[in-house]
Amino acid sequence: MSAPVVAVLDYGSGNVHSAVKALQEAGADARLTSDRAFAQAADGLVVPGVGAFAHVAEALRDQRADEVIDRRLAGGRKVLGICVGMQVLFERGVERGVGAEGLGQWPGVVTELDAPVLPHMGWDTVEAAPDSVLFRGIEHERFYFVHSYGAQKWDLEIAKGFPHPKLTWAEHGSRFLAAVEFGPLSATQFHPEKSGQAGIRMLSNWIDSLGATTL
């Protein structure tokens, strides 16, 4: 059986090659691409992100990557955001008092953590959602974080009878979302590609949830 094809979105963000390498180690046929048609057709799409919220959101829109994400999700095709690639999935981000519009897949605002030391940099445990797919078998492992901002609450109310999101939390001064799994859209605030074997296992769990096609 062929490995699932995973497109890693190349829109000018840093650290993309380490993400490709980690996905390949985790069992994916991972390819770095700025081709929207390829990103649309792949079994999985990874949206990395390093730097400022506003810059990442603007760069994604400039590449029309927001349209690719929308179309994939409308068709139930899986997307994984990483670090700022998670943050921009929310409606808005505020950094140093300046607000910027996110991609709006989830309601809420990304704000600075209330912590004595920033950035939050290093290895930390998470409070994994009980039914998490991403953290299956690695619920008590440590993951690598580098950030000063995060989503510190979940604002989306789910109507009765509909599936609820799987929310994973961590804490640095204040409590923040370390990962979200909601339908075909998942994201992590930490860097799985920098999290050693625990990160590879997390990526493998996500890859195992994808179907495989030939591209």
**Catalytic sites, residue numbers:** 83, 191, 193
Closest CA to 137 of 80, 210, 211, 203: 203
Contact 123, 175 (CB under 8 A): no
**Distance in angstroms (rounded) separating the CA atoms of residues 215 and 210:** 14
Are the C-beta atoms of 43 and 213 separated by less than 8 Å?
yes
